[in-house]
Amino acid sequence: MKKVEPWPLGIFIVYLLFASLLLGKLVLSQQDDVELVSSDYYERGVEYQAQIERIKRSKALTESISISAFMGQKQIKVILPETFKVQGVTGSINFFRPSNGKLDFSLPLVTNQEGVQVIPTGGIQTGFWRIRIRWTMKGLEYYQEEAINLS
C-alpha cells in the first residue's frame, strides 16, 4: 500500500484559505459605502483658483467674521465686524458635516442691525461641523471657514 503524502493537501488548503479570505475581503469592501466629500468634485476643482483669491482677500482684511457656539442658549452667533455693517454684506452660510454629507445645509447671511445672525441649534445634529461663510462686500467675494463642535 502506497503512503499518501500530506504536503500537497496542506498546500492546497492554505491556498484555498488565502483565496477565501481575499474573496471575503473583496465582498466586504464592495458593500462599504464610500462617500465623496463633494459629488461635483471635478467642477469644484476647476473653480478652486477663484476660491484661493477669496481666501486671500479674507486674510488681508483687518477684521474677520466671528462665529461662536453658545450651547447653553442652543444657538450659533455669526457676528460681523463694525466695518462690514455699513458696506452692505450679502452671502451664504454653509454647514458642512464631513462624516455625513446628507446633513449639509445652507442659510443666507442675513444679520440684524447690530451685524449679528443668530442660528438656533435645536434642529442641528451634535458633533463636528465646518461652517463656511461666503460673502460679497463692495463687489468682491470673500470666504471664511471655521470648525465647531456642537455638543
What does 56-125 look like in DSSP terms, one character per residue?
Answer: HHHHHSSS--EEEEETTTTEEEEE--HHHHTT--EEEEEEE-TT-GGG-EEEE----TTSEEEEE-TTSP
Per-residue model confidence as pLDDT tens digits over 70-82:
877 788 999 888 8
Total-model pTM: 0.67
Per-residue model confidence as pLDDT tens digits over 9-55:
899 999 999 999 999 999 998 887 766 667 777 777 778 888 899 99
**Measured between alpha carbons, how far is 10 from 133 in angstroms, rounded to an integer?**
63
Per-residue model confidence as pLDDT tens digits over 85-112:
767 788 999 999 988 888 999 999 988 8
Cβ neighbours for 20, distance < 8 A, ≥ 6 positions apart: none
Beta bridge partner(s), residue 96: 130
- Percentage of the chain beyond pLDDT 70 is 95
**Measured between alpha carbons, how far is 126 from 122 in angstroms, rounded to an integer?**
9
- Full set of structural domains in the chain with CATH: 41-150 (2.60.40.10)
User: Nearest Cα to 65, choosing from 53, 82, 55, 78?
Assistant: 78
Cβ neighbours for 134, distance < 8 A, ≥ 6 positions apart: 54, 91, 92, 94, 141, 142, 143
The per-residue pLDDT for 86 is: 64
- Judge residue 6's burial from the number of C-beta atoms within 10 Å of its C-beta, 0-12 exposed, 13-18 middle, 19 or more buried: exposed
Q: What is the DSSP letter of 140?
A: E
Tell me how long the chain is.
Answer: 151
Beta bridge partner(s), residue 77: 68, 118
User: If you average pLDDT over every residue of the chain, what do you get?
Assistant: 87
Radius of gyration of the chain (CA): 26
